[in-house]
A and B are shown apart, each in its own frame.
Chain A
Amino acid sequence: MELHLTLVFNGLATGMLIFLLAAGLSLIFGLMSVLNFAHGALFMFGAYMGTWVYILIGGWDSNLGNLNFFIGMAAAAGIGIVLGYLVERFTVRQVYGNHLRQILITTGVMLVVGELVKVFWGPNVIRVVQPEFLTGYFAVGDVRLTYYRVFIIIFSTVILALLLFMLKKSKLGIVVRAGVENSEMIQALGINVRKVFTLVFIFGTMLACIGGFMWGPYQGQVNPAMGLDLMLIAFIVVAIGGLGSVAGSAIAAVLVGLSEAYMAYYFPPGSLAVNMLIMAAVLLIRPTGLFGATR
């Protein structure tokens, strides 16, 4: 029983972290039907940037206490905003409406951004430790709940709630949902849909960069391969969850996280394969994903 509780807890944490990475991808995919192959490289850049600041500030002024973690997170978010804007403005915007070219051009961006990471921070693994206030664990019965995982779950749940609330209630959210359905009609109502696209792209990239940053202490390292590896998982989540459905992405992410946790315990090499199989099964039965609109 403890074993399963532990695995579920771990799976939940991993899943919620994956959700942060996938949420932006899902929004972008849903609204602009752009499958952003650069997403992984972008959050890797965010992860490196945030980690770099986090480590730098931590070493430079230990009086800051745990603040360096949040400064690192802010740095990741900041670079996410900048990168999101640049990528949308100069590449993705040019090829809206053409799936093939979108996939190609974001692949190009993936190459460039991925290599830039190596230029700035080198091709080697960088070790990252968890901030002091989040190290350690508390026990509930025989189940050890590590603070960092608890933090991830709470943080991501807050983000998820904010996102859902925003989509449901705010004007921007309604516009985004309407834009996912019919971007032409939105324009006829006097809304510059391009601007909304840019905002969503920036926002999605920012979320991913924050997620990427949080991934570092979670795994104890950042490395140049994480972009592609995690992007694949994010893709799986989006495909399972359905086009543009934030709630769908969250559920799919938890599903993937749980299968990761269980596979990691019972048969580590098979974890990715199992997720692939889930994705393939979902797509074959319901090509729009579990929660995607049937269009």
Chain B
Amino acid sequence: MLKIKDLHTHIEQFHILQGVNLEVPEGSVTVVLGRNGAGKTTTIRSVMGFYPNVKGDILFQDQSILQQPPYTIAKHGIGYVPEDQDIFAGLTVEENMRVAMRKEDDKTRERQEWLLDLFPDLKLAWKRKGGHLSGGQKQMLSIARALVNDTPLLLVDEPSKGLAPIMVEKVMEAMNVIRETTTILLVEQNFIMASQLGDYFYMIDDGQTVFEGEMKLLQEDEGLRKKYLGIA
């Protein structure tokens, strides 16, 4: 569904990505791992088209989306859940959802209902301002917002970051439901979450994909885990 070929991203003068290759098969959850500053977030943001200076190629459903503006990429059906959730703090939960809706038709409203069933917390906070939500609610809203349109591919950047353990669990449960209908590319440092959700993983280090394989492989190989995640 998504193919990244030899991706090089420059941000200002910095050569951040120096050859990222990865493939997200349809229906899978593919996890990008790597320690801080390795280039995981940059990879996702490059897919979303946030950087003007990107070389290599990015194919979505076999069509190149390289050099397209972010809004076009989003319209192709790629949902984005950023690292810091980026909830619009001055907008209510309802408005946050509405801003995301590209069409206000029955289908979209149906999807919204489904998402609210998935995240009942959001229903409770429906009229509250985004800025007043808890971290977990923000994360749920961010995911729901990305999925309210027809979204075959979801890019999720560290959904567990800064969340209380109970919230991490909730988010993970929801992701388990979402994966049934949506292909997911997940950046995650929380290894438990990554290993429970992921089918396949890519390891990024110093802006390059350095290792890939079935998630099982990583679960079994502690040495590898230590080496790239920096856990001991």
Q: Chain A residues in contact with chain B, CB under 8 A?
A: 171, 174-175, 177-178, 180-182, 184-193, 293
Q: Contact check: which of B70, B82, B88 meets A181 at CB < 8 Å?
A: B88
A246–B48 Cα distance when bound, in Å, is 32
State how many angstroms separate the Cβ of A174 from the closest Cβ of chain B.
5
Interchain CB contact (< 8 A) of B82 among A177, A188, A193: A188
Q: Which of B20-28, B98-106, B168-176, B219-227 contacts A (4 or more CB under 8 A)?
A: B98-106
**Which of A177, A178, A180, A190 touches B75 (beta carbons < 8 Å)?**
A190
Q: Is the CB of B71 within 8 A of A177?
A: no
B86 proximal to A (CB < 8 A): yes
By beta carbon, the residue of chain B nearest A175 is: B99
Given contacts A174-B95, A182-B88, A184-B70, are A190 and B82 in contact (CB under 8 A)?
A: no
Distance of A177 from chain B, by nearest CB (Å): 6
Would you call B86 and A192 a contact (CB within 8 A)? no
Q: Is the CB of B74 within 8 A of A187?
A: yes
| A181 contact set on B, CB distance < 8 A | 88-91
Residue of B nearest to A188 (CB): B80
Apart from A181-B90, A189-B146, A191-B71: 8 A-B pairs, beta carbons within 8 A: A171-B104, A177-B90, A178-B95, A185-B88, A188-B82, A190-B100, A190-B149, A193-B71
Q: Which residues of B are at the interface with A, using a C-beta cutoff of 8 A?
A: 48, 50, 69-71, 74-75, 80, 82, 86, 88-91, 95-96, 98-100, 102, 104, 145-146, 149
Q: Assess A189 versus B145: contact at CB under 8 Å? Given A174-B99, A181-B89.
A: yes
Pairs A–B under 8 Å by Cβ, sample size 6: A175-B99, A177-B90, A178-B88, A184-B50, A189-B99, A189-B100
**CA of A190 to CA of B76, assembled, Å:** 9
Chain A: CB-nearest residue to B148: A189
Nearest A residue to B86 via CB reads A185
Pairwise interchain contact A192-B88, C-beta atoms closer than 8 A: no
Q: How far is the CA of A175 from the CA of B100 in the complex (A)?
A: 9
Residue of A174, A182, A192 touching B69 (CB-CB under 8 A): A192
Q: CB distance B88 to A190 under 8 Å?
A: no
Chain A residues with CB below 8 A from B70, complex form = 184, 187-188
Bound-complex Cα distance A187 to B146 (A): 12
Residues of B contacting A177 with CB < 8 Å? 88, 90-91, 95
> In the complex where A191-B71, A193-B71 touch, is A186 in contact with B149 (Cβ < 8 A)?
no
* Cβ–Cβ < 8 Å partners of B89 in chain A: 181
Contact status B74-A190, CB under 8 Å:
yes
The smallest beta-carbon distance between B149 and chain A, in angstroms, is 7
Distance between A186 CB and nearest chain B CB, rounded to angstroms: 7
Bound together, the chains give a CA A184 to CA B69 distance in angstroms of: 11
Contact assessment for A293 and B145 in the assembled complex, using a CB-CB cutoff below 8 Å:
no
A168 to chain B, nearest CB (A): 9
B104 to chain A, nearest CB (A): 8
| Of A171, A177, A187, A191, most B-chain CB atoms within 10 Å | A187
Distance of A279 Cα from B70 Cα, bound (Å): 39
Complex CA distance for A187 and B91, rounded to whole angstroms = 16
Query: With the chains together, A174 CA to B146 CA distance in Å?
Result: 17
Assembly CA distance A12 to B209 (angstroms): 65
**B95→A188 contact, CB < 8 A:** no
A176 to B, closest residue via Cβ: B99
Most buried by A among B48, B71, B82, B91: B71
Interface residue from B90, B95, B149 paired with A293 (Cβ < 8 Å)? B90
A187 and B69 within 8 A (CB): yes
- Please give, as numbers and ranges, the residues of chain A lying within 8 Å of B50 by CB-CB distance: 184
Contact B95–A190 (Cβ < 8 Å): no
B42 CB to nearest A CB, Å: 14
Among A178, A184, A190, the residue within 8 A (CB) of B91 is A178
